[in-house]
Amino acid sequence: MVGYKVSPFLWKTVARGLSAGRVQSVALRIICERDREIEVFIIEEYWEIEALLADRDKNQILSRLVKVDDAKPQIGNEPEANKIADELKQTEFRVASVTNSQKIRKPYPPFITSTLQQEAARALYFSPKKTMIIAQQLYEGVDLGKEGPTGLITYMRTDSTRLSNEAIDAVREYIKSNFGVPYLPKMAVRYSAKKGSQDAHEAVRPTYVDHPPEKINKHLTKDQLKLYSLIWNRFVACQMASAVYDTTSVDITAGRFLFRSNTQTLRFDGFLKIYQETKENGQNGENDLVDSIPDLKTGDQLWLKEIKPSQHFTKPPARFSEAMLVKTLEAEGIGRPSTYASILSTLLERKYVESKEHRLFPTELGKTVSKILVESFPNIFDIKFTARMEDDLDQIETGKEDWIDVIREFYAPFEKTLGKLTKRQKEIKASLIEETDEKCEKCGSPMVIKWGRNGRFLACSAYPDCKTTRPLESEREETETDLKCGKCGSPMVIKTGRFGRFLACSAYPNCRNTQPIPTGIKCPKSCGGDVIEKRSKRKKVFYGCSNYPKCDFVSWYKPVNSPCPNCAYSYLVEKFSQKSGLYYTCPSCRHKVVPEK
């Protein structure tokens, strides 16, 4: 009802072909509000201090300053950090306490639709739409040769972590036979359903646990194998024993300062033997751990070897990845597991949002649409209202609410608001038009900036008498390069078209030569080709070999022409995280390299 009524309102005020929806527009609002948070974020400098200490036997320990005068350190600049460092050089360090304990890490529950989409996005870089398409193929069945067409997973649209007794019995027997008794809990692991779960279907799991990925891999496509392996491993892991860590925490006093060192050692791997959930940006939340701590006792004196002040800057909130957005929608109670993929696809297809380096950026069109909708329908496109409507729909389904009463309560004010806005459509549309100093080359009338389905453009203000249009200068800016055109020898320039950036000959229109943007890196597969910037069907930037299809090299991340210092793999890829900033990582061993500043 919301989409049916509000979408025509957008057609008449912005451009035809746009759409709105009760859930889709709230998702867009969430992305746009995060963008504004980032824009207004004020970066602040702060410093951390670490101390390299040694015990009586010259064993070293790295420790971080965690308190100053029993409060969290507030070190705002280098002079303050140096002042503390000078004071510490004159202070005695002693062990205040040593705490040894065990940390139990329980296995993850089996996949539901939303968690499957999130993990596939993080680990495999699959969009929610792609994940659901491949899951549908696995569910409908794959030809396994002698066994014939076989459905490999249970129904993939579910919000329940429930597992059948038959599935639990089968996987427990598999764990006992293949991993041994220590990996099998005494009792089957049961996972409670979240609030509001419809529980109509089981969790997403393999239909036959005795079809491990390596047994049927020859019957699956590359992407099917990746997703099936993820589902199979998660299912088996959910019924395995917990992982156990030995942890040590040492507090060290130095006058009014308190330092702390933490370390943990894996005692028993448990479910981690076959499955480890991927964290956003590759972070596992263990950056405050040191490699090892010597055998220390309370009261031991330590000697200062080196003070290490380090400069840092606060980071703005992270832009949403597709996985993060799905998680946020689920946490807020917005939408259904079966709708997340279509919501994200619609935002991208409508060009409200674009994906860069696996992050979602609102376009100017998306920001404008969101602003109009939120200002025009503040109650309907409110996060709490949308979540409350989901609850009302659940109550209707279970017979606890009357659908007529619920719809009447919503529809009367909605229809009234829509009626008022319909009268103001011309006014709202006029408010989106921006005047310029440019003149129409055909009739001399002033040119104005208008909105169309593909974004903003220049149009003659004398429309419909004069229908002159042209792209905005800002949309067609050209960046010069040192490259020469292979056809006429003129300099090549970087242009931006409807499908993204590309190289074009500066002698256009006399020479119409175009080509993808090279990265300056030779193909890691040593085929003689160059790594070039490309765009997928969904307008995502990725990197591939110029010799395609002869060479199938492809990477979502920009390759760096440097071998891995850990495993000597031929290249690294460039990544960015809110905590680490720009860094490089090895596609083979995941070794992380922070470039020198």
**pLDDT-derived band at 454, boundaries 50, 70, 90:** low
pLDDT computed for residue 282 by the predictor: 43
CATH 2.70.20.10 fits 51-80+90-106+244-311, yes or no: yes
pLDDT computed for residue 561 by the predictor: 77
Least confident stretch, 115-129, 235-249, 403-417, 474-488? 474-488
Residue type, 303: W
Residues 357, 465: Cα–Cα separation, whole Å: 44
Residue 155 falls in the annotated catalytic set: yes
What ranges do the domains of the chain cover? Answer: 2-41+318-427, 51-80+90-106+244-311, 113-238, 433-475, 557-597
Which of 56-70, 372-386, 556-570 is most confident? 56-70
Number of H helices and E strands in the chain, helices first, is: 14, 26
pLDDT computed for residue 195 by the predictor: 65
Catalytic residue among 108, 155, 548, 569: 155
Least confident stretch, 113-117, 472-476, 509-513? 472-476
242, pLDDT greater than 90: yes
283, pLDDT greater than 50: no
- Note the pTM of the prediction, 2 decimals: 0.73
CATH T-level assignment (fold) for domain 2-41+318-427: Topoisomerase I; domain 2 (1.10.460)
Give me the DSSP letters along 72-131. -----SHHHHHHHHHHHTTS-EEEEEEEEEEEEEPPPPPB-HHHHHHHIIIII---HHHH
pLDDT computed for residue 197 by the predictor: 65
pLDDT computed for residue 217 by the predictor: 92
Which tokens sit at 519? 């990265």
CB neighbour list of residue 165: distance below 8 Å, 6 or more residues apart: none
**pLDDT-derived band at 285, boundaries 50, 70, 90:** very low
Give me the DSSP letters along 501-566. EEEEETTTTT---EEPEEEEEE-TT-SS-EEEEEE-TT--EEEEETTTTT---EESS-EES---TT
199, pLDDT greater than 70: no
**pLDDT-derived band at 498, boundaries 50, 70, 90:** low
Encode pLDDT of 502-537 as tens digits.
788 888 778 888 877 777 777 877 787 888 877 776
Percent of the chain with pLDDT over 70: 93
CB neighbour list of residue 176: distance below 8 Å, 6 or more residues apart: 183, 184
Which of 259-268, 289-298, 332-341 is most confident? 259-268
Label each residue of 437-470 as H, E or C.
EEECCCCCCEEEEEEECCEEEEEECCCCCCCCEE
pLDDT computed for residue 150 by the predictor: 92
pLDDT computed for residue 166 by the predictor: 95
Q: ∠ CA(518), CA(519), CA(520), 5° rounding? A: 95
Residues 91, 79: Cα–Cα separation, whole Å: 19
**What CATH number belongs to 113-238?**
1.10.290.10
**pLDDT-derived band at 96, boundaries 50, 70, 90:** very high
Mean pLDDT of all residues in 324-336: 88
pLDDT computed for residue 416 by the predictor: 87
Mean pLDDT of all residues in 385-407: 86
pLDDT computed for residue 27 by the predictor: 93
Least confident stretch, 109-123, 166-180, 381-395? 381-395
Mean pLDDT of all residues in 162-186: 94
Residues 154, 156: Cα–Cα separation, whole Å: 6
CB 564 within 8 A of CB 572: yes
- Of residues 164 and 281, more confidently modeled: 164
pLDDT computed for residue 44 by the predictor: 92
Mean pLDDT of all residues in 80-105: 95
595, pLDDT greater than 80: no
3-state secondary structure of 311: strand
pLDDT computed for residue 257 by the predictor: 96
279, pLDDT greater than 60: yes
Encode pLDDT of 302-316 as tens digits.
999 999 999 999 988
